[in-house]
Amino acid sequence: MSERSEPRLENAADDGFNHVDYIGGRDGRAIQASSDSSSVVAELAKQKEKFESVQADAVNAKEQLELAQAALERLQKESQSAQKAAQEAQCAYTEALAHADPSNAVSMKRVEEAEAEVAKLNKELSEVREEAFSVNDDVSRRLETERQKSTEHEAKLEQMQLKLQAAEQAGSKTSEVLRSANAELTAAKKEASTALAELATATEQLETAKNELQAAKGDLATAKEEAAAAADALAAAKTELASAQEQAAALTASVSEKEAQIKTLQTELAQVQEEHEDTKAGLECTKKDSSAALEVANVEKHAAKQEQLSQAKAAALDASQVLEALRAQAGNEIAGNKKTIEELQETVKRHEAMLASKDEEVEAEKSRANLAESIAQTRQGEVEVAQKLADKAKAALSSVRQELTAECSAAKAQVEEQHFWRQHRSIRSLFEFEGMLVPAPLSSPSAEVLRALLNGSTSSGVVGRGNSSQVHACQADPYYVIKTVKQEEITAWKRELGRLRRLPALSVRSTVFVTNGPRALLPRLWPVPRGALRPQDVVRLNFDISAVLEMLHRAQNSARGCTCWHIMIRSSPACFVLIDYAGCSGDSVLLDQANVYIQLTVERNLAIEAEENAEKFRLEAQSARTAEQHARMAEQDAKTALLKLRKAAGLGSPTGSPIGSPRGLPVGGAGDDPQLAELRKQLGAEKEESKKAKEELAKLRALYEPSSQQGDSPKAVKDEILPTEVVEEETALPGAVN
C-alpha cells in the first residue's frame, strides 16, 4: 500500500512545484503591474501560501510514511528472528525429550528449562506479532488518510489552476504597464552603470590610499632610524661640549694663576727699582758729602755696589723678559681659548637647530606610527574575530556532541531497562508473595537519618555482628542501619574500598549511603523467602553467582564461597543482592545485571551506532582543531607580515625610497588576506557541519520516540553515590533480619 501511495505523492509534489514556478512567473509579472492589478496579486500570494502549506503537509506525510515503513520492516525482522529462535528452542526441546531419561533428575530439569524457554519465546513471538499487526494497521490507516488528503490536494490544485487562468487574463491587461516599467528599468540600468563607475573610482582611491599608507610606514621606519642616529649624535655633541667646558674652565684657572704670577713679578720689579733708586740717591749723597775724603776708602765699596747694581739690572731685565714672554703666551692661549669657545658655541647652536628639526620630524613620524599601529590593531582585531568565530564553531560542535552522546546514552539505558524488565519478571513476582517483607527503598536518606548518623544515636537492638564491627538499627528510621567499626580495624576499613573501585561501574551498586569516621549508613536488606523461589529461579541464581564470581576474579578481587544465606533481596531496583562480596560491607553486586557476557541484539546495534557517532565526533573535533590551527596560523602570519613591513621599511636608504615597491612596502592592499578568506570559508563549512549534526540529532530523536512510548516498565532508581571511605572485610551479614 505504501509503494502505491508514494508515486501519487511524488506526482502531486511535482505538479505542485510546476504550479509554484508558474505562479512565481505570473506573480513577478503582476507585481510589476499598476495598482489596478493589486487585488489579483494578493489573491495569487494567498494561493501560493496555501499551496506551500499543502506541499509541506505532503512532505511531512511522506516522511511519516517512510518512518512507519522502517518501523514495519524492523518489526518484521524482529518477528523473523523471534521465529527462528522459537524454532531453535523447539528443536532443542525435541532433542531434550528424545535424550531425556525419566529416572535422571538432571535431564528432567533440562527438559523443564527447555519448556520454560520455549514458553518464553512463544510469548515473545506472540507479542512481536501483535506489535507487527498493530503497526501494520497503523500504517494502513495512515495510508488511507494520506490518500484522502491527496484527493483533497488534487481538488485544491484544480481550483488553483482556474484561479491562475483568471490571473493570466488580468496579466494581459497589464502588458502596457510593463512597457513603462521596462523604460524605467533602462533608466535604472544607466544609473547603475554610473554608480559602478563611481565605485571603480572609489576603489582606485582606496588603492592609492593603501599605497600611501604603505609609503608612510616606510617613511616612519626611516624617520625612526634617523631620529635614533640624531639622538646618538646629540649625545656625542653633549659629551664634547661638556669636555670643552671643562677645558675652558681649566684654561681660565691657568690664566688667572699666570696673571697672579705676573702681578707678583711686577711688585717684585717695583721693589727692585725702588731699591735701585734708593741706592742711586745714597750714592749721590755720599758723593756730595764725602767725595774727596772717602774716594779711596769707598772705591772697593763702590765697585761692590756697582757689581750688585749690575746684577740687579740683569735680574730686572731677565724678569721683564720673562714677564713679556708670559704675557705673550697668556695672550696667545686666551685668544686660542676664545676661538675654541666660539667654535663650540657655534656647534652647540647648530646641534640645537638640528635637534629642533629632528624633534619636528620625530613628531611627524610619531603621527605616522600611530596611523600604522591603528592599521595593525584593525588587522589584529580581524584575526581575533576570526579566532572568536572558530571558538564559537568549536563550542557549537561540542554542544552538538554532548547532545548526541546524551541522547544515545538515554536511548541505551531505556533499551537496557526494557530488556531487564522483560527478562526478569520473575523477580517482580517475588514481591507478590504473601510471606515477603517489603524491603527498604534505596532513595536518598532524609536529614533526620543523616543527623542520627552524625550524632551516633542508634537503637539498643543489634541487627548484625561481625568480627570487626556491629550493625545497629537507626533510631530515626527503621529502614536504615548504622554500622560501627572497631577502633583497631580502621586501617582495614580505609583499605577495603580500593577493591570496590576496581570493579566495572555498571555491575556494582553501592548500598553505603554516607560515612562518618568509623560509622556508615546502610539500607536494611531482607533474606530471600525460600518458598517463593521456583526451580528456574534457583538455576538462574546459580548461573548469576558464578558469573559474578568470575567477574570479581577478573577484576583481581578475591571473593569467598557463596551460599544461599549470602543472597538477599531489595525492591528498588528489584534484584537479588550478593552481600558477602569481600566481607559484610553493605556493598552489593546486582546479580541480574552482572552477567556481562549476554550481548543483546539491541545493545549491539546501539554499540554500532555509538561507534559511528563517535567517529563523526572525532571528525568534527578534528575539523574544529584544524580551524583553530588555521586561526592561530593566520594570527602568526599577520604578526610576521607586520614584522616584514617594519624590516622592509628599515632596509631602505636614508635619503631616498627603499628598493622594491614604492617606499619599500609590498604590493597589495592591507585588507586583501587570502588566509582570512580561507578561515571564513572553513567557518562556514563548520557551521554547515553543525547544522547537519543537529539534523541527525533530530532524526535520532524521531527514531527513539516510538521506542520510548512502547516502554511498559517503571523507571529505575538512579545509582547510589559511591562512599568516600573504605569498607572493611567481615563475615557477618549487614542489616540481615533472620
**559 in a structural domain:** yes
**pLDDT band at residue 242 under the 50/70/90 scheme:** confident
**pLDDT band at residue 15 under the 50/70/90 scheme:** low
The listed range with the strongest mean pLDDT (184-188, 244-248, 310-314, 656-660) is 310-314
**276 in a structural domain:** no
Mean pLDDT of 574-586: 50
Mean pLDDT of 657-661: 39
Work out the widest C-alpha separation in the chain, in whole angstroms: 198
- pLDDT at residue 605, as a whole number: 52
Is residue 33's pLDDT more than 50?
no
Last residue of one domain, picked from the residues 580, 601, 622: 601
Mean pLDDT of 148-166: 70
- pLDDT at residue 383, as a whole number: 72
For the chain, the straight-line distance linking the first and the last C-alpha, in angstroms and rounded, comes to 64
User: What does the DSSP assignment read for 214-272?
Assistant: HHHHHHHHHHHHHHHHHHHHHHHHHHHHHHHHHHHHHHHHHHHHHHHHHHHHHHHHHHH
17-26, 212-221, 451-460 — which is least confidently predicted? 17-26
Is residue 588's pLDDT more than 60?
no
- pLDDT at residue 568, as a whole number: 66
- pLDDT at residue 538, as a whole number: 72
The listed range with the strongest mean pLDDT (174-183, 358-367, 661-670) is 358-367
DSSP secondary structure letter of residue 507: S
Residue 69 CB burial class (10 angstroms; 0-12, 13-18, ≥19):
middle
Is residue 226's pLDDT more than 70?
yes
Q: What is the pTM of this model?
A: 0.24
Mean pLDDT of 1-12: 46
- pLDDT at residue 449, as a whole number: 76
Name residue 450's amino acid: L
The listed range with the strongest mean pLDDT (152-166, 253-267, 499-513, 675-689) is 253-267
- pLDDT at residue 387, as a whole number: 73
- pLDDT at residue 30, as a whole number: 42
Question: Which residues does 583 contact at the CB level (< 8 Å), separation at least 6?
Answer: 466, 496, 727, 728, 729, 730, 731
**273 in a structural domain:** no
Is residue 651's pLDDT more than 60?
no
Closest CA to 396 of 617, 115, 565: 617
**199 in a structural domain:** no
40-54, 401-415, 429-443, 618-632 — which is least confidently predicted? 429-443
Q: How far apart are alpha carbons 308 and 330 in whole angstroms? A: 32
Last residue of one domain, picked from the residues 578, 601, 624: 601
Is the peptide bond prior to 674 cis by the omega test (within 30 degrees of 0)?
A: no
Is residue 487's pLDDT more than 80?
yes
CB 664 within 8 A of CB 709: no
Q: Read off the CATH number of the domain in which 78 is found.
A: 1.20.1270
Strands 587-590 and 508-510: antiparallel
Cα–Cα distances in Å, from 219 out to 412, 644, 662, 664, 667?
Answer: 69, 15, 11, 9, 16
Q: How far apart are alpha carbons 665 and 211 in whole angstroms? A: 8
- pLDDT at residue 675, as a whole number: 57
- pLDDT at residue 81, as a whole number: 73
- pLDDT at residue 440, as a whole number: 39
Mean pLDDT of 558-573: 56
Q: How far apart are alpha carbons 495 and 726 in whole angstroms? A: 6
Q: How far apart are alpha carbons 359 and 373 in whole angstroms? A: 20
CB environment 141-165: b (16+ within 10 A), e (fewer):
ebbeebeebbeebeeeeeebeebbe
Q: How far apart are alpha carbons 564 and 581 in whole angstroms? A: 13
- pLDDT at residue 6, as a whole number: 45
CB 617 within 8 A of CB 404: yes
Distance of CA 41 to the CA centre of its chain: 51
Mean pLDDT of 312-337: 78
Q: Take residue 337 and report the three cell numbers written for it.
A: 681659548
The proportion of the chain whose per-residue pLDDT surpasses 90, expressed as a percent, equals 0
Name residue 475's amino acid: Q
Specify the higher pLDDT residue, 171 or 711.
Answer: 171
DSSP H or E stretch at residue 510: strand 508-510
**pLDDT band at residue 650 under the 50/70/90 scheme:** low
**508 in a structural domain:** yes
- pLDDT at residue 640, as a whole number: 75
Q: How many CB atoms lie within 10 A of CB 606?
A: 18
Is residue 598's pLDDT more than 50?
no
Domain that holds residue 552: 432-601
Q: Take residue 468 and report the three cell numbers written for it.
A: 570487626
Mean pLDDT of 460-488: 77
Question: Which residues does 149 contact at the CB level (< 8 Å), separation at least 6?
Answer: 57, 58, 61
Is residue 519's pLDDT more than 50?
yes
pLDDT digit string, tens, across residues 522-553: 777 666 666 666 777 777 777 777 776 676 66
The proportion of the chain whose per-residue pLDDT surpasses 70, expressed as a percent, equals 43
**100 in a structural domain:** yes
SS3 of residue 332 by DSSP: helix
**pLDDT band at residue 435 under the 50/70/90 scheme:** very low
- pLDDT at residue 594, as a whole number: 34
- pLDDT at residue 343, as a whole number: 81
SS3 of residue 732 by DSSP: coil
- pLDDT at residue 503, as a whole number: 54
Count structural domains, the chain: 2
Last residue of one domain, picked from the residues 569, 601, 633: 601
- pLDDT at residue 557, as a whole number: 59
Q: How far apart are alpha carbons 560 and 579 in whole angstroms? A: 11
Q: How far apart are alpha carbons 593 and 575 in whole angstroms? A: 9
Q: How far apart are alpha carbons 245 and 239 in whole angstroms? A: 10
Specify the higher pLDDT residue, 433 or 80.
Answer: 80
Specify the higher pLDDT residue, 39 or 688.
Answer: 688
CB 40 within 8 A of CB 170: yes
Average pLDDT across the chain, whole number: 65
- pLDDT at residue 303, as a whole number: 72
Q: Take residue 352 and report the three cell numbers written for it.
A: 640645537
- pLDDT at residue 361, as a whole number: 80
CB 702 within 8 A of CB 67: yes
Is residue 61's pLDDT more than 50?
yes
pLDDT digit string, tens, across residues 390-419: 777 777 777 777 776 776 676 666 666 666
What is the chain's Cα-based Rg? Answer: 56
**218 in a structural domain:** no
Sign of CA pseudo-dihedral 591, 596, 600, 604: positive
Q: How far apart are alpha carbons 176 and 552 in whole angstroms? A: 92
Cα–Cα distances in Å, from 579 out to 442, 560, 576, 590, 597?
Answer: 15, 11, 10, 10, 22
pLDDT digit string, tens, across residues 126-141: 776 777 677 667 767 7
- pLDDT at residue 20, as a whole number: 43
- pLDDT at residue 601, as a whole number: 40
CB 688 within 8 A of CB 229: no
Q: Take residue 36 and report the three cell numbers written for it.
A: 489596478
Residue reference for cell 724678569: 319
**311 in a structural domain:** no
Q: Take residue 310 and report the three cell numbers written for it.
A: 749690575
CB 570 within 8 A of CB 480: no
**pLDDT band at residue 621 under the 50/70/90 scheme:** low
